[in-house]
Amino acid sequence: MWVVSASGCRWLGAGGSLAVAVGGYAAGALPVVGGAPLWAPRATGTETAGAVLAALGLTLLAAAWWRYGVLLARGAAGGVLGTLAAWAAPLLLAPPLHSADVYSYIAQGAMVLEGHDVYGAGPSVLGPDQLGADAAASVGGNWTDTPAPYGPVFLLLAEAVVGLTGGAVVPAALLLRLVAVGSLALIVLAVRGFGRGDGALWLAALNPLLLLHVVGGAHNDGLMIGLMLAGVLLAVRGRWVLGSVLVGCAVMVKSPAAVALLFIGVLVARRAGGGARGIAKGLVLPGAVAGAVAAGASLVSGTGFGWLGTQSVAGAIHTPLSLTSDLGLALGTLVADDPAPVKTAVQQLGLLAAVALIAVLAWRAYRGHLDPVLGLGYGLLALVALSPMVQPWYLLWGTVVVAAVAWHSRAGQVLAVVSAALVYETQPAGHTPWYGFVAGGLVLALGLLWLRRDRWPSASTSAPVPGPAEAAEAAPSGPRRAPEEDA
């Protein structure tokens, strides 16, 4: 039947993506001012109709994606890049979708350009006659007075966007989306470099969660992931210095990319022959390279090192997907008049647990019991699961990495199910109503039931192309030394 063939999935998904984009013109995260005529807020009835159309399109896109993945897992021919182009194209000119964060990016870039301390104040400091004022008016309430948690590399990029567009909301948002598309291209190149074929691209790049939030929402997580994964790929190939530079740039977009430095250190330690000297080199050298990048970016940008003090600001905003925040709030409500101290303590314990899990994964990778790249993916997933603030698109941090080396694994299948569920958590305007959680929970339950009934064929049956991750895993852990850097 054509509709469930690879070709049918390609065009059904494209139709779904088009419906999401068209619905977004009525129900997306439209700017409060500066969006006329196409991005102007709509009447309530039109907005509701747009939200319904977008939800139907999203369901069609997710269903087509899932069926396409099943076909790839069973050995069907690929064509993933063409499918990716067909699914991403309708989103390029749409208003921001499922998040208003892009307006924060524009406002923060304007703050840098106007000479404000972006790490000491929020977008509300922008006056009505200053660049970025229209974008600041559209920033979500939680972020209006919140300092930027992003690194100088991204703020330099946002400043350049504001300078090129004069701070006009629509051109600036579209230019940031172009950056997001470039990030998607970088992710594709990096994933392909690991040699796992079209299935890896299916889970990493075709993933509706990524299309929705990196392309549709223009989130800078895509840039962080692309730089980080490209850096790790270079390190796997022996070029760890250049790889650490790229990861340092990724950290200067968003700090969670720093986890990758530990696993690059594992590669360096193993190639150095192991032992205390090898471990010392692995622990120190990649971090030193990335630290130099961070210092240089902080000085060149003119924003200074204020980013070091704003990495915890997001944790002050409660997000229902954060298990530690939910647990801490519940415990605090039960045992104290003021739940805040208990909530904070539980959040900190969660972060400590995440650090411990990441350390265990790195040690297992060093001992040769775990692919270092897969260990990085698992480590990022642990960090997200135990963080004080969790947004749906944070799942992509680890999912893209796991997809690059183990898309066909049980973990890859579970991540596909969770990705399909999380696309429903936010609405096109960026809100998180209760029915989004209900829809996501229903998809998750159905997906987990499906997992019990239909495991994907074993990886051996699809004969994936051996990738460089195997070379990293086979790197010598004994006295014999390989070249440390061939950049």
pLDDT value of residue 482: 35
Give the mean model confidence (pLDDT) for residues 57-65: 96
Is a pLDDT exceeding 90 seen at residue 465? no
Residue 3's pLDDT band, with cuts at 50, 70 and 90, is low
pLDDT value of residue 474: 43
pLDDT value of residue 319: 87
In this structure, of 83-87, 274-278, 349-353, 384-388, the range with the lowest mean pLDDT score is: 274-278
Task: Please give the model's pTM, rounded to 2 decimal places.
Answer: 0.92
pLDDT value of residue 1: 63
What is the distance between the alpha carbons of residues 274 and 277, in angstroms, rounded to a whole number?
7
CA distances from 359 to 86, 171, 195, 367, 427 (A): 41, 43, 27, 12, 36
pLDDT tens per residue, range 310-334: 887 777 788 899 999 999 999 999 9
Structure tokens at 55: 């939800």
Asked if 53 and 199 count as a contact pair (C-beta separation under 8 A), the reply is no
Q: What percent of the chain has pLDDT over 70?
A: 93
Give the mean model confidence (pLDDT) for residues 242-248: 98
Give the mean model confidence (pLDDT) for residues 451-457: 75
Degrees to nearest 5, angle at CA 114 with 111 and 115: 85
Strand partners, 239: 485
pLDDT value of residue 484: 38
Cis omega (within 30 of 0) on the bond before 37?
Answer: yes
Degrees to nearest 5, angle at CA 342 with 339 and 345: 150
Strand partners, 485: 239
pLDDT value of residue 463: 35
In this structure, of 31-35, 437-441, 457-461, the range with the lowest mean pLDDT score is: 457-461
pLDDT tens per residue, range 188-222: 999 999 999 999 999 999 999 999 999 999 999 99
Residue type, 291: G
What is the distance between the alpha carbons of residues 487 and 475, in angstroms, rounded to a whole number?
18
Block residue for tokens 């690929």 = 78
Question: DSSP string of 121-172?
Answer: S-GGG--TTSTTHHHHHTS-GGGTTPPP-S-HHHHHHHHHHHHHHTT-HHHH
pLDDT value of residue 388: 94
pLDDT value of residue 7: 86
Block residue for tokens 């739940």 = 339
Q: Where are the domains of the chain?
A: 97-473
pLDDT value of residue 119: 94
pLDDT value of residue 476: 39
What is the distance between the alpha carbons of residues 27 and 38, in angstroms, rounded to a whole number?
12
Give the mean model confidence (pLDDT) for residues 112-140: 92
pLDDT tens per residue, range 378-419: 999 999 999 999 999 999 999 999 999 999 999 999 999 999
Judge residue 440's burial from the number of C-beta atoms within 10 Å of its C-beta, 0-12 exposed, 13-18 middle, 19 or more buried: buried
Asked if 147 and 118 count as a contact pair (C-beta separation under 8 A), the reply is yes
pLDDT tens per residue, range 328-370: 999 999 988 889 899 999 999 999 999 999 999 999 999 999 9
pLDDT tens per residue, range 165-183: 999 999 999 999 999 999 9
Q: What percent of the chain has pLDDT over 90?
A: 77
pLDDT value of residue 462: 37
Give the mean model confidence (pLDDT) for residues 83-105: 96
Residue 95's φ and ψ, nearest 5 degrees, are: -65, 165
